[in-house]
Amino acid sequence: MSQIALTIALPFLAAFLLPVIGRVYEALARVLGPLVLLYCLWLVLQLWGTGDGHPVALAMGGFRPPMGITLYVDRLALLFTLLVSLMTLLLWPWQRAADSRECALTLLLAGSASGLALSGDLFNIYVFYELVSVASFGLVAVHRSGAAFVATLRYLVISGFGTVLALTGIALVYSQTGTLNLAQLAQLAPDLLAGPVGLAGFLFMLLGFGVKGELFPVNTWVPEVYATAPARASALLAGLVSKLSLLVVLRLLVLLYQQEQALQLLLLLGVLGVISGELAAWRARDLKRMLAFSSIGQLGAMFIAFSIPGNAGLLAGLALALHHLLVKPALFLLAAGWPGAVERLRGLARGGPLAAGLFVLLALSLIGVPPLPGFWAKMLLVVGLAGQESGYLLALAVVLGAAVLEASYLFRVVAQLYHRDEEAARPRPYLLDLGSAALAGAVLLSAVPFISPLGDWLAGTAAQAGDREGYIITVFPAAGRPLYSAAGGGKPALAAAGPLPEPKP
């Protein structure tokens, strides 16, 4: 099981070696990245197959928690690690494979994203989060266009601000509890983090880690960046990285902050995100910008889902996240072939019927038309919200209203695509882009007959992720030591005596 750490280490290694190899063996440099990612993918699949579904805590370097670096591998983390490798592989910049910088940055992103998914303590999360940020700055600006530079600068400013906030939050938490290990924090949180200082810590960490998750109000970078970055970078950011930020917020909520004020704060920010995102998308005149705003709205809905107490909210949020992860990158890939304002898309369906058809399919799933998977995810959210009191009911009304707006502006685009009066000979989307989008569409359609087993599996995953007691017991079993140690090569470590370390006053 400890081989999971390879999914973090190998991409890093490859990223650092790539520029060097690129100068010597160019052919090898082209395929090194995909090979590494393929191996990581295979590794995760193997671990998944051999595992028994129970969460596992790994201590790196033999240091017991809460001192050392812990990796927590439950179904959710394993799923995300798989998705990281898979998505990065599918969204690999084949077109510009000669540019070793872009490949290196992508590998860096992959490695740090895996690390983010697997981390078991706050500082580790922070470090990997920063690494993801750095990688994404580079990826956004890699095509060196002026607009991209401006957008990256804005992204940098906001991300930097977010970093400061996150660090402050972590510091506040440390000052209250004296530890940064998530499992120990989970044990100490109900007593020590319930006060205003703890909540302030939550606020700061939420805003800090929420930058990538397009949380209102730290999401003003989103439209510019997604509109000017290369399509694959936008797809990776919108599809993958935002979900990792969600994962971090999920861990925070489940383990540290289960109190009502935290949920209310998240609900408020989520509602504001939905409102601002969808309304701005209505007015957008450029397709990629429209998709960016739509993404803000969708992520707002996910935050709303997480703010529902109990496992129902987690399940809804996860379902929405996975659906968005599938659909949004595909939409960005299609949009890459249709640059410019929506008006310029007139009549493009005639030249590219597959692309236009895919757009319609993806739009329908995004809006939530049964029997596509997007409908089931939305249904989970609606059912979860309907049972709560007034604030949640308002959020329900906002989410449903947002769906109406979405249908309206997405089908405005479809109307332009299928406009019959003009024959436009515009460039079609790049074949590989189209292929990846078609793959996404195929996965979407094939998931329809298997909704029920998928739903059950997700429910199990969500239940496992929401099980705070289980988390604590996994990391600190009753004997007071972790189950596996990386240095021991998979054998149980020697029994250690003594209770848990005392928290510093």
CB of 478 to another protein, least distance (A): 35
401 binds another protein (CB under 8 A): yes
Give me the residues paired with residue 59 across strands: 70, 485
Tell me if 457 contacts another protein by CB under 8 A. no
Bridge partner list, 70 = 59
- What residues form DSSP beta bridges with 286? 341
Using CB under 8 A, pick the residue from 52, 389, 421, 423 that binds another protein: 421
8 A C-beta contact, residue 376 and residue 451: yes
| 235 vs 363 by CB, closer to another protein | 363
Give the footprint of another protein on residues 144-183 (CB under 8 A). Answer: 154, 157-158, 161, 165
Q: What is the rounded CA–CA span in Å between residue 118 and residue 108?
A: 15
Instruction: Name the minimum Å distance from CB 223 to another protein.
Output: 5
20 binds another protein (CB under 8 A): no
Q: At its nearest, how many Å lie between another protein and the CB of residue 396?
A: 6
How far apart are CB 217 and another protein at their closest, in Å?
Answer: 5
With CB under 8 A as the rule, give the number of residues binding another protein: 63
**To the nearest whole angstrom, how small is the minimum distance from the Cβ of residue 448 to another protein?**
11
Binding string to another protein for residues 285 to 324, with x set by CB under 8 A, is what? --------x-------------------------------
Per-residue string for binding with another protein, 432-451, x by CB under 8 A? -------------------x
What spatial distance separates the first Cα and last Cα of the chain, rounded to whole Å? Answer: 36
Closest CA to 229 of 330, 103, 335: 335
Residue type, 489: G
Residue 375 makes contact with another protein by CB under 8 A = yes
- Chain-centre distance for alpha carbon 226: 15
> What distance in Å separates the CA atoms of residue 18 and residue 88, rounded to the nearest whole number?
16
User: Burial of 365 by CB count in 10 Å (0-12 exposed, 13-18 middle, 19+ buried)?
Assistant: buried
Counting contacts by CB under 8 A, is residue 35 touching another protein? no
Grouping H, G, I as helix, E, B as strand and the rest as coil, residue 81 is helix
Q: Edge-to-edge strand order for the sheet containing 56-59?
A: 70-73, 56-59, 484-485
Task: Specify the residue, 124 or 159, whose C-beta has the smaller distance to another protein.
Answer: 159
Q: Is 185 in contact with 252 (CB distance < 8 Å)?
A: no
Q: Largest alpha-carbon pair distance within the chain?
A: 80
Residues that bind another protein (CB under 8 A): 154, 157-158, 161, 165, 196, 199-200, 203-204, 207, 217-218, 220-223, 261, 265, 275-277, 279-284, 293, 364, 367, 369-371, 375-376, 378-380, 382-383, 385-387, 396-397, 400-401, 403-405, 407-408, 411-412, 415, 418-421, 451-452, 455
